[in-house]
Structure 1
Amino acid sequence: MADSEADVIVVGAGPAGATCARLLAQAGCSVVLVDRASFPRKKPCGGWVNAAAFDEFPELETLRKKSSPKKQLVDVPFHGLVFHKADMSAEAVYAPRQKLGYLVSRETFDAALVALAASRKRLVKVLQRFRVTGVDVREGSVCVRAADGRTAAGRLLVGADGAESTVAAVTGLRDSWAGDRQVVCLFKEIKVSPRTLDRLYGKQRKIHLAMQYGGLPGYAWAFPKHGTVSVGIGCRGDAGADLKSVYAAWVEHLIGAGLLPDAADVSRPTAAMAPAGGAIEDEGHVGKRTLLIGDAGGFVSAATGEGIYPAMRSARVAATCLTAALKADHPQDALMQFKFDWRQDFAEYIQMPNANLAFLLPLVYENAELCRRLARCYLFGENF
């Protein structure tokens, strides 16, 4: 007998896993939500969230409004996007009247989503520091084992444990992502006082991007938050890039443009990988009694590497399929529906735009309409 039992075991308590657990509980299903970390925990991430997430998931807006000054769900909203030429010789600004999204600390944001799921105490049990080392999928159940010997069993399993998913590997769904489906990043949250950030970026923040920076298939970014700026560079994993050199050049450009103080500590950036657009070409989301969501399933924007909002959308589709499977005579058929339902729901959002960006990008700095269209392509997944 397992130490913990429920209808569904969810491995990984990031935005995908925590959202899936909460929605399952909302539907009356019991859940054991496990994660190798203890929350709050640091998580490498640029930390921008599409404003649409707050419209589609009302609990986010409720949490934001209930936040205290010392415990904010979001750092700051942002109201515009600035495209920079790679040599910083020109820029194009998209700044409509409405709020475009939020910049968040994943440490705070993820902990809030876990707490929201855990608040349904009768149906959701959260197990932290539970590092999954084994998965046993049987005819009528699934059991996961942790490194410390603890076990959790359920009828169905969700892998929401990130780009290098243990669940995907041990169930045979996927060993790793191919290089052309990876975006590799080098970035750092650079501490800057809120007062200095207000002076450098204004109180109504804009995010800053340099597309194809350093000649790479990707972009450089600067996301000014409340007391930090997320600064980084990301490109396709098969590009063979020297990211350290490109990151250093981007930092120098930002300092020269007055977007970082001269004294900012830009040393020791963090490396990370995301399977950008991985879900589009990959069919390995459904296994025996198992679904993969979030980064584990490749639900990341192909154009931007955005992961939080697509992760939550994948969780919502999965929760519907899992709930149906728990009620079905043939649960595997209900799980297989996930392959079709997620594509209908948001495949268009995470696929590459239908445009030759290399040709159009130089025109963005001369044409306000092209700037608007590229910005909305980046921010909202709209076709160019």
Structure 2
Amino acid sequence: MAILATGCQSEARDLLAKAGLATGPQAWRAQVEIAASKAVRGAPRSGDEMFVLLGPEHHGFGAWWRRGQKMAVSVGVQGGAGHALGALIQLAGELIAVGWAPPQLAEAAKKAHAAASPAGEALDAHSHVLKRTLVIGEAGGFVAASSHEGVYPAMWSAKLAAEVILEALDSSESQDRLSEFENLWRMSIAGHLQPLESDVRFLHPLVFTNRRIAARMALSIFTGRRA
């Protein structure tokens, strides 16, 4: 048996797309990191904090954080690589304009590169079960649609895959046992991968004025849990 868990830029991912088992890149992300030795107004107070900006529609995000002597800015959007790079440059400019980032961020953003993101693609994939093979992680599109975060759902899909494989190894009908992976992940991970159900433009006033709503929205975005 095999587990296919390579990243979205791998040859394995391309083969899945050609076989019709994975969609082409619909979302893209871009990130830049710079040295920022001097504190800037509005920067996180510690390495455990970050700022997240949700897009005006059901998809797209921007984030920036500071850890030690470095500052990073990241965006994830629907569309092509140029769209992602444009969004990164725009966000960098806005952060500089309000004094939240040093001026050198602008030039660094212009030199950044964009990468395809399989955000939410697991939901549209034909199947994650091949002959004696399970497709998990970014190869299977297990990336949250709202935040483009892939580590948590990738590990989640790996845990479920391991459970199914252990059962398959003890069964005389191993392929049938592997097929159970499809229903298993859709019952548990699908909610975490789905985009926000509401247009966040209507949520912005509540998020910025109600601490309880802000906490619930953050919990939903980063953990996939409905608070």
When normalised by structure 1's length, the TM-score is 0.52
Matching residue within 163, 170, 178 for 1:320: 163
Contact 1:279–1:298 (8 Å) recurs in 2: yes
The residue that corresponds to 1:112 in the other structure is: none
Q: Would you say how many aligned residue pairs link Structure 1 and Structure 2?
A: 224
In the TM superposition, residue 197 of structure 1 has moved relative to its aligned partner by: 7.2
Whole-Å separation in 1 of the counterparts to 2:47 and 2:13: 41
Cα pair 2:7 2:13 within 8 Å, conserved? no
- CA RMSD, Structure 1 to Structure 2 (Å): 2.8
Paired residue secondary structure (1:365): helix
Give the number of the structure whose residues are more often strand, by fraction. Answer: 1
Number of the residue aligned with 1:250: 91
Equivalence map 1:203-352=2 (5 Å):
203=46, 205-212=48-55, 217-237=59-79, 242-264=83-105, 266=108, 267-352=110-195
Aligned mates of 2:32, 2:58 — CA distance in 1: 19
Q: Does 1:161 align with 2:6?
A: yes
* Correspondent of 2:30 among 186, 194, 201: 186
Match of 1:356 in 2: 199
Q: How high is the TM-score relative to the length of structure 2?
A: 0.84
Counterpart-to-counterpart distance in 2, 1:291 and 1:222: 35
Determine if contact 2:3/2:135 at 8 Å carries over to the other structure.
yes
2:94 partner letter: H
Is contact 2:59-2:196 (8 Å) kept? no
Amino acid corresponding to residue 341 of structure 1 in structure 2: L
In structure 2, what is the Cα distance between the partners aligned to 1:173 and 1:317?
A: 24
Give 3-state SS (helix, strand or coil) of 1:259's partner. coil
Report how far residue 176 of structure 1 moved: 4.7
Mapped to 2, the partners of 1:368 and 1:203 lie a distance apart of 20
Tell me, yes or no, if the aligned pair for 2:65 and 2:72 is still in contact at 8 Å.
yes
Shift of the alpha carbon at 1:178?
Answer: 4.2
2: distance between equivalents of 1:216 and 1:248? 21
Q: Highest Rg: 1 or 2?
A: 1
Distance 1:314 1:242 in 2: 30
Task: Supply the AA of the counterpart residue of 1:294.
Answer: G
Contact 2:85 2:114 in 1 (8 A): no
Shift of 1:273: 1.5
Decide which structure has greater helix share: 2
Q: How does 1:8-19 map to 2 (within 5 A)?
A: none
Q: Give unpaired runs (5+ residues) of structure 2.
A: none
Q: Which digits, 9 at most, give the CA deviation of each residue in 1:279-306, with x for residues without a partner?
A: 1232320111111000111111121111
